């Protein structure tokens, strides 16, 4: 054997030894300063910067935290910003990341946790893509992994974060998907989810863990939207995150909960406190700011809606945005511009979301909204009930004698009294709504049932509230069915 041949053999042999050692080296998951830095860029929606940093990482072979970061990057691009539209490419990347995890020799508790995280990302993407069966299937896989972890490694704290969020989400499954979820054994409870999440938060606050702020947001959303305690959620968020440096995602969380509370001015303040470049990173914030301004009858909302249409790359809320531009034209008395904007609801965007469906229905009907009822509706949505009542109150007799409009008038008046905490007046108006639409075909009568249930629940009248929530689930309204049913289901979950 020649020297050169021998050297080549030696170097080749050494190479394979090194590769073998590398392959056998114990994989791990450590949230190092580098990992935390990239994660912070992702949640701040600085996704291009995060991608550059991920591509520069040289120590990622054994630290599987970087696989989580890559999955998070894909999730935020698709689910939050809707920038990734090639689902085949996204699914291929998902499968590659999961395969790398499964082939690693990562300790089983970490492997299950990270697999569950990736599966939850994929489930949410599937739901947004309209692939509900795939979403529930991946929810089930993630749930099984987390429950095994909790049983076998009860002191592994990270399982409780993901399990808590998952169990809370599953408590509010819409009726459309309840059967599919039950067939594969998916179930959850709000209280169970909150307890698991609290357990993780207690740990994370002591260690300033990577997922602490994400857990605050999840806890606040569960409290506001599933438990129907928005004021408690808003106080919680301000206590935990009120002094944090604002970024687009935190502004989104705070403004959504503020809107849920009826704190329209507070929502406007937090959104406007962001530089416009930050709102451009998350175009939905322009749309949200436009909604809040319009609910004050501030027609400067028009500029925010146009900005959303200009920079947004997805398909959601487009129909609704054109509808809102049409409403502004209607309230200004410009019927021609109303017709132009509302016509775009027919062929722009998609109609997956309830709000987009409602905009499409209005456009297809060709019916011009009544300007008085529209003003009252917007003011009521913005939680300005006194101003809304001033708009409606003088016209009761006229509207109650109008067969086409008396249902909406009674409903709007009931919602206003409800906001003013005039419970008996609100219940009386909702009874009129139900009398005017005994078949519950309109979303207004269905929501009147829901709001009646909420009023009774707030009064501590449990059985009456349960009765009305159950009545809601028997209805099939023309609009917002999924949203109304989900809220009724959440009410039943709270009371049971």
pLDDT digits (tens, 9 = 90+) for 151-193: 999 999 999 999 999 988 887 665 555 555 554 455 667 888 8
Length of the chain: 496
Q: When comparing pLDDT for 167 and 238, which is higher?
A: 238
Any residues with CB less than 8 A from the CB of 393 and at least 6 apart, and which? none
Tell me the domain boundaries of the chain.
33-210, 224-296
The pair of three-digit structure tokens given for residue 333, joined into one six-digit string: 């008395």
Whole-number mean pLDDT of the chain?
88
Of 318, 317, 290, 291, residue with least CA distance to 304 = 290
Which residue has tokens 């987009």? 356
Taking the C-alpha atoms of residue 159 and residue 146, their distance in angstroms, rounded to an integer, is 6
pLDDT digits (tens, 9 = 90+) for 40-95: 999 999 999 999 999 888 666 689 999 999 999 999 988 888 876 666 777 778 88
Taking the C-alpha atoms of residue 143 and residue 276, their distance in angstroms, rounded to an integer, is 39
CA angle 326, 329, 334 (to 5 degrees): 125
pLDDT digits (tens, 9 = 90+) for 380-427: 999 999 999 999 999 999 999 999 999 999 999 999 999 999 999 999
pLDDT of 472 reads 96
CA angle 70, 72, 74 (to 5 degrees): 70
Taking the C-alpha atoms of residue 258 and residue 225, their distance in angstroms, rounded to an integer, is 12
Taking the C-alpha atoms of residue 121 and residue 1, their distance in angstroms, rounded to an integer, is 56
Through-space distance between the first and last CA atoms of the chain, rounded to whole angstroms = 82
Any residues with CB less than 8 A from the CB of 435 and at least 6 apart, and which? none
């Amino acid at each position: 054997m020649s020297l050169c041949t021998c050297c080549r053999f030696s170097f080749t042999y050494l190479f394979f030894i090194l590769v073998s050692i590398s392959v056998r080296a114990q994989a791990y998951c450590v949230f190092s300063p580098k990992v935390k830095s990239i994660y912070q860029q992702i949640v701040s929606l600085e996704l291009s910067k995060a991608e550059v940093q991920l591509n520069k990482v040289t120590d990622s072979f054994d630290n599987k935290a970087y696989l989580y970061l890559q999955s998070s990057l894909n999730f935020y691009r698709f689910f939050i910003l809707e920038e990734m539209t090639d689902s085949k490419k996204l699914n291929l990347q998902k499968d590659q990341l999961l395969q790398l995890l499964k082939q690693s020799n990562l300790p089983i508790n970490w492997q299950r946790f990270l697999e569950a995280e990736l599966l939850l990302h994929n489930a949410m993407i599937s739901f947004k893509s309209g692939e509900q069966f795939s979403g529930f299937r991946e929810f089930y896989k993630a749930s099984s992994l987390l429950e095994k972890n909790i049983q076998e490694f009860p002191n592994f704290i990270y399982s409780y974060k993901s399990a808590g969020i998952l169990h809370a989400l599953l408590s509010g499954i819409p009726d459309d998907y309840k059967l599919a979820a039950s067939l594969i054994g998916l179930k959850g409870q709000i209280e169970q989810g909150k307890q698991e999440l609290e357990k993780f938060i207690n740990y994370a606050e002591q260690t300033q863990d990577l997922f602490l702020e994400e857990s605050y947001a999840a806890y606040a959303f569960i409290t506001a939207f599933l438990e129907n305690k928005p004021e408690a959620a808003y106080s919680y968020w301000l206590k935990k995150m009120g002094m944090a440096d604002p970024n687009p995602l935190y502004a989104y969380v705070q403004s959504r909960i503020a809107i849920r509370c009826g704190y329209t001015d507070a929502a406007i303040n937090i959104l406007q406190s962001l530089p416009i470049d930050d709102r451009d990173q998350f175009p939905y914030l322009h749309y949200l700011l436009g909604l809040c301004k319009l609910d004050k009858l501030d027609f400067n909302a028009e500029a925010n809606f146009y900005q959303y249409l200009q920079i947004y790359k997805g398909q959601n809320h487009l129909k609704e945005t054109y509808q809102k531009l049409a409403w502004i034209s209607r309230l200004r008395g410009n019927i021609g511009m109303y017709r132009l904007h509302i016509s775009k609801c027919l062929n722009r965007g998609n109609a997956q979301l309830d709000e987009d469906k409602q905009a499409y229905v209005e456009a297809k009907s060709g019916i011009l909204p009544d300007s008085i009822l529209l003003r009252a509706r917007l003011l009521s949505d913005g939680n300005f009930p006194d101003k809304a009542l001033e708009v409606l109150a003088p016209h009761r007799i006229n509207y109650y004698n109008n067969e086409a409009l008396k249902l909406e008038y009674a409903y709007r008046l009931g919602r206003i009294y409800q906001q003013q905490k005039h419970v008996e007046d609100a219940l009386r108006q909702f009874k009129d709504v139900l009398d005017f639409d005994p078949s519950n075909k309109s979303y207004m009568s269905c929501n009147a049932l829901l709001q009646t249930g909420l009023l009774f629940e707030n009064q501590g009248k449990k059985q009456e509230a349960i009765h009305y929530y159950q009545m809601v689930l028997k209805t099939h309204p023309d609009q917002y069915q999924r949203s109304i049913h989900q809220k009724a289901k959440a009410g039943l979950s709270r009371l049971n």
